[in-house]
């Protein structure tokens, strides 16, 4: 490893020699002085070079001629630098409050072009989203785009802190499956030696297996796949799912309590570490949500939406995207909150493994978490009684024999349990007021995008 200093650490150093490395953001090539803005993964710094346009012919001392020639070469190198070239510079750090960029600069002593960039950059600030996605590695050099993934790192680290503190076990479930984990409607089928396999839509079955294994509580952050031909701003064919499953719960209320604790911890960490940068680059003041989050049964929420003048046009019992926006607007007005749990969904629109209400099998112990008008998660208490589970599968028109490997989990004892799955990119999109999960996904995958 080189002995370079990260830009973010320069301010704490005294004046003196330093080495910095990064890519060229801008070059101002003036007659007597040159300025280069160098950016690395931590920030940007101004480099300055007193320009030498020719070697003074009156110089006779070999050392003086060599020094002037080296300065001329550096000047010519800087003049030829293209945006995006990666360079290493050694020079003298100087603190100067007149310098607008961080109050310091580095006077160049030597400059090495590590890799030269093509002079014509394929994307610009006004390029379309699709064009930027074509050149994602260049798009991610922008401080705003890079900050998204620093925020993601902080957010997930905070969630992992809660999970670990509570004694949950991290698992990595397989993404190749012999059968569907949700529904066959959105299933990717792949060749698997002499047979077929399917890309996992969710780690659901394997999270539940961990409860039967006596793990007590598990979490996973990993990929999930949906063969959904949607082109909306919130759908992807491959996405990162944040999943938790816990044992010995009394109802879905226990799952919601953990869910909101995780959200609050994540937001607190992001605000503490990145709040100022978010305000500067995204123009928003991110706040930490208060607990408890509002909870509204779905039937009541639909009535509230209807009273606001919007009748949900769906023929099933679910809420639609406009309905989610309407109920979020109501919650913001009534409670001043950006989150709301919609609870007690109809069994007709929930998976067979969701536990149904005692005394009212038409409803389930389940919820959706809505954030700023968009669903980010579904959670529920699971049905753990094998006879009930088999019957509910039959009610959904499923053949229990095709679910044998899953049903076996429940034949040898399993505690009451529940959990949730949450789309990471959606959370970040809404947190940062972005318009598409393409912005908050490192490399987006959709119906028409498999590259880069």
Q: Is 382 annotated as a binding residue?
A: yes
Residue 366 near residue 343 (C-beta atoms within 8 A) = yes
Angle at 221 between CA 219 and CA 227, to 5 degrees: 120
226 is in an annotated binding site: yes
Distance CA 229, CA 226 (A): 9
Q: Is 439 annotated as a binding residue?
A: no
**Annotated binding residue 350:** no
Asked if residue 424 belongs to a known ligand binding site, the reply is yes
- The set of residues, in sequence order, having a beta carbon less than 8 Å from that of 286 and lying 6+ positions away, is 267, 270, 271, 275, 278, 279, 431
Binding site annotation covers 238?
A: no
Of 425, 424, 421, 451, nearest in space to 436 by CA: 425
Does 426 belong to an annotated binding site? yes
Assess contact for 343 and 298: CB atoms under 8 A.
yes
Comparing CA positions, the residue from 434, 429, 366, 406 lying closest to residue 240 is 429
d(CA 309, CA 212): 47
Q: Do the annotations mark residue 182 as ligand-binding?
A: yes
Determine whether the annotation assigns residue 176 to a binding site. no
Which residues are part of a known binding site? 182, 226, 375, 378, 382, 423-426
Which residues are part of a known binding site for ATP? 375, 423-426
Which residues are part of a known binding site for L-aspartate? 182, 226, 378, 382
């Amino acid at each position: 490893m080189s002995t370079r200093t990260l830009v973010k650490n320069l301010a704490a150093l005294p004046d003196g020699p330093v080495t910095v490395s990064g890519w060229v953001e801008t070059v101002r090539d003036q007659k007597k002085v040159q300025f280069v803005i160098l950016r690395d993964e931590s920030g940007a710094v101004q480099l300055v070079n007193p320009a030498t346009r020719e070697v003074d012919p009156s110089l006779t001392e070999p050392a003086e001629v060599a020094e002037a020639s080296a300065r001329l070469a550096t000047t010519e190198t800087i003049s030829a630098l293209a945006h995006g070239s990666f360079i290493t510079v050694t020079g003298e750090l100087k603190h100067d409050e007149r310098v607008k960029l961080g109050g310091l600069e580095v006077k160049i002593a030597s400059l090495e072009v590590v890799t030269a960039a093509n002079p014509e950059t394929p994307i610009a600030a006004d390029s379309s989203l699709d064009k930027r996605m074509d050149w994602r590695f260049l798009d991610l050099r922008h401080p705003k785009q890079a900050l998204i993934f620093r925020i993601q790192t902080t957010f997930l680290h905070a969630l992992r802190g809660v999970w670990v503190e509570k004694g949950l076990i991290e698992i990595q479930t397989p993404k190749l499956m012999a059968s569907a984990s949700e529904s066959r409607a959105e299933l990717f089928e792949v060749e698997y030696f002499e047979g077929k396999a399917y890309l996992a839509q969710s780690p659901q079955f394997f999270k539940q297996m961990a409860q039967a294994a006596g793990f007590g509580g598990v979490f996973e952050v990993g990929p999930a796949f949906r063969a959904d031909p949607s082109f909306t701003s919130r759908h992807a064919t491959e996405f990162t799912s944040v999943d938790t499953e816990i044992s010995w719960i009394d109802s879905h209320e226990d799952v919601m309590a953990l869910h909101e604790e995780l959200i609050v911890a994540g937001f607190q960490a992001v605000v503490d570490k990145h709040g100022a940068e978010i305000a500067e680059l995204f123009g928003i003041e991110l706040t930490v949500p208060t607990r408890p989050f509002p909870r509204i049964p779905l039937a009541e929420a639909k009535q509230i939406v209807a009273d606001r003048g919007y009748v949900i046009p769906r023929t099933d019992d679910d809420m639609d995207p406009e309905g989610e926006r309407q109920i979020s607007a109501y919650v913001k007005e009534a409670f001043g909150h950006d989150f709301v749990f919609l609870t007690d969904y109809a069994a007709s629109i929930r998976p067979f493994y969701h536990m149904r209400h005692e005394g009212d099998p038409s409803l389930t112990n389940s919820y959706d978490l809505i954030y700023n008008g968009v669903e980010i998660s579904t959670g529920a208490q699971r049905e753990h009684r094998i006879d009930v589970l088999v019957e509910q599968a039959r009610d959904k028109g499923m053949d229990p024999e095709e679910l044998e490997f899953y049903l076996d989990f429940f034949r040898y004892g399993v505690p009451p349990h529940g959990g949730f799955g949450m789309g990471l990119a959606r959370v970040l999109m809404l947190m940062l007021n972005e318009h598409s999960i393409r912005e908050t996904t490192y490399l987006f995958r959709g119906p028409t995008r498999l590259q880069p």
